[in-house]
Structure 1
Amino acid sequence: MKRNLKRKWLLLLFVVTGVFGLTACSDDYEPWELLTAEMTSTLPEQPNLVPWDGGTFTINVKTNGAWDMVVPDWMSVDQKEGHGDAVVNATIMRNQIAKEIFNSEVIVNFIGVEQNNVVGKTTKTIPFGQEGVEKAFKITDCNAKLTKEYKRREETNGSSYNYYQCGYKITYNIENPLTDKELDDIITGVYLYLYIDTPGYPSNFHDTYYLSKTDLAKGKHVLEKSNWRMYRDNYGDYLYLYEIAIAVQTKYGAKVIYRTSDIQTEKK
């Protein structure tokens, strides 16, 4: 009887010891976590664009793992990698291309950290675009005029004919925040396009004239040419200047910075 009672107490002691031992082991156990990854920013969402002259933006990273960031060449960040949450300050430079930049993006690679018992791997992106440098120029108060002067010409052989002497006069005011050095470094050409419709020419035909970089300087400008075109007899009656445009060119191509179809015709 005593022997059986002793065995029962030993068995109970073994069970109690095992329970307390298991509890102690479970306190030391650290469970694995799945990687979490979130990213937001103050970059404008497409189709909105970053201004041509860039700016400073923030990129917010939230994660329980590690991360590294890949950005375009014209963007700089104050940190490109880290562990856990972070607020990254990003600076975008002035665009020196005469067109919008699309398909740009911030890429952040997230990965779990073994010593923190975090597992997983993912990548997130923030797409954005930027205005072209042509947005730097603001042309206002533009007035375009087509002049036609009806004349008669006497030839040395005694013959004569009537003709139209056609010209143009364009006045405009321009705002240009570029420095002289930036203007010289970025802009490789300035053009004036005159879109005309006349007998013998297809519709949308246009003349191209080279302008000077000084025509982009801040302030008021006058583009004038009295002997632009000559038409014999009454053909000049049909000359129609229906649009003018001013374009700038960079090493990546030309882009119109202003156009208008508000054109007056003055006959003499």
Structure 2
Amino acid sequence: MTYQPPGTLYVVATPIGNLQDLTPRAARVLESVTRIAAEDTRHSARLLAHLGINKPLISLHEHNEARRVDTLDAYLEAGEDIALISDAGTPLISDPGFVLVRELRARQRHVVPLPGACALVTALSAAGLPTDRFTFGGFLPAKPGARRQSLEKWSTREETLVFYESPHRIEHTLQALAEQLPERAIVLARELTKTFETFLQGSAQELLEILADDPNQGRGEFVVMIAGAPAMDERQARDIDDERLLKALHDEGVGVKQGANIAASLLGGRKKEWYARLQAMKPEV
């Protein structure tokens, strides 16, 4: 019996909107593999039909990924080549595939990436925000409290922040940003590579007003890009100014509630936080 070397798992980026963005190499690989692991087989079947490719599809999504590892590994052991694709863009980037790739690499399988479309890189390239350093945070939490805690954690990062967001949550996210990062420049990229591709720029409050005036701007999938925090030395200088203002309000006998309103009006931020800082300055009884 002739020995059949194990096959290769190809991690294949697919278009995020415009089908012409599929690379010739990706098309060749999808045509040549034995089978294709897809996040949503029905969705991917339409892409493959457009390409004239008819291959067996096996679903691989967040709920079954761990169970699929042994099945796909057996195909590779038998010498089959497999392509991994997601619904759009590069697999593993806020899409399934991490568990599969990690486990197959641990088993010494051959994993080959094919570069291509990726929403966060596409958005950053045209946003006009610094790209020498950036951090991708995936999707912010859906629950308000967890989302607020997450934004507080990110708020001091100096690099550009990038998140994905869905149309039914974009307003909630912008409202949270308006409360916690009111002065930051934000760019929303919507419907990338599609007919209604749009880039909107402004503060969170300005963007909320745009969405209120034109509900169509709230449709589609979003990449949310946020300018980083000021450099540390600038932020330290600003904190010193903050402390001087709070001390002046305290020394002049301004009430805590009124002082919090004044601080929020002049310096931005949440009244609740200024209230807590002023309250902490009161002498213990």
TM-score interval (norm. to shorter): under 0.3
Q: TM-score, normalised by structure 1?
A: 0.28
Larger strand fraction of residues: 1
Task: Specify which structure has the higher proportion of helix.
Answer: 2
